[in-house]
Amino acid sequence: MIHRLFFVCMCISLCSCACTIGFDEGRFPVNNARRVVVMTYNTQLLFDAVDEGTEFPEYSVASGSWSAEKYAARLDRLAQTLHLAGAAAGYPKNGSPDIVVLQEVENVQVLLDLCNRLPAASLYESALCVRSDDNDAFGIGILSRFPVLSCVSHAVWSEDASPRPLVECDIDTPLGQLTVFAVHWKSKSGADDGAGARLSQEAVLARRIGERGAAGDLFHWIACGDFNQTPQEFSLLGDRFNPWLEPLPVASAVNPLPQSGSYWYQGQWEQIDHFFLSEDLVDGSGVDAREFWCLDSSPLVRADGTPDRYEVFNGTGYSDHLPLLLEVYRYQ
């Protein structure tokens, strides 16, 4: 039980580190004991206002292109995005998803600064950020309204790149333990379009799913994040349930099917942000995923419906990705 604010930095795997915060769990309301809403979102290069030497040049305060004011504006927009997601999920005013997986956040301080902007209806018990090492420009962030039982990261080796690690979190939710595998795979750049690095990342994820399943300690699991490839490009996860490809067997039909993608590139939508689900979340066994949707409402999109990407030169926009949301519901 967490009784007071604490801050811990710990090495949790080879070349990986995480920072975690916790708050008095009695302050955090459970929006509905029968449902858990998970969100994944690539924030598009969310750097803080402190020059550490690892940020991209255009986000250097010393260069004059980045500032504390621009950083604060981006935090406010991310908080607004969380509230939009909460409203889309039917939560009370200023609510937000129960578990939020974020890509391209520089460090845990970004998450702390974000949490300091959230009202009581959106407070989180735990926040953590995983970077491959201290030289990585940004990492994977996770916010959870529920206790994080454990968090480990798994280093990924590739001949032609230094892929980001796989983050594996066990979270104690009202629906039981939920394992969240959070990823940010290699982009399509480099000599082989990054395919070799992504295959290495896919192999680590597939191996961990198999190992946990074989050990009998993996029940409900979700893998989510920016995979940087389409559903048709997976080699080892192709048989896992992906709601981009087929409707959820148990669905409330409250939300329409997602649009064609969450990322707009060269004049067309791409499905590169994903949720993969364990079989027990889609088999009608009593705890099932029943909603999957893309948050594509204003102000996250422009007039033509495409993502309102952030432009550092004038400080406008949100992100070049749109958030994806998944609701898991207990019927019994």
Tokens, residue 125: 């018990």
Query: With the C-alpha atoms ordered 23, 288, 330, 119, is the resulting torsion angle positive or negative?
Result: positive
- Give 257's pLDDT tier (boundaries 50, 70, 90): low
pLDDT above 70: residue 182? yes
Give residue 98's identity as a one-letter amino acid code. Answer: D
Cβ atoms of 77 and 323 closer than 8 Å: no
Asked if the model's pLDDT at residue 28 lies above 80, the reply is no
Total-model pTM: 0.91
For residue 332, pLDDT beyond 80: no
Q: In the chain, pLDDT over 70 holds for what percent of residues?
A: 87
Share of the chain above pLDDT 90, in %: 75
pLDDT at 178 over 70: yes
Average pLDDT, the chain: 87
pLDDT of 251 reads 64
Q: What kind of fold does domain 6-330 have according to CATH?
A: Deoxyribonuclease I; Chain A (3.60.10)
* For residue 1, pLDDT beyond 50: no
Q: Does the structure show a pLDDT above 70 at 74?
A: yes
Per-residue buried b or exposed e for 30-52, using 16+ beta carbons within 10 Å of the residue's own CB: ebbeebbbbbbbbbbbbbbbeee
> Quick check: 259 pLDDT over 80?
no
Residue 159's pLDDT is 81
Mean pLDDT of 107-128: 94
Domain range annotation of the chain: 6-330
Check whether 166 has a pLDDT greater than 70: yes
* pLDDT at residue number 252: 56
Mean pLDDT in residue range 132-157: 93
Q: Is the pLDDT of residue 85 over 60?
A: yes
Alpha carbons 231 and 213: distance in angstroms, whole number? 23
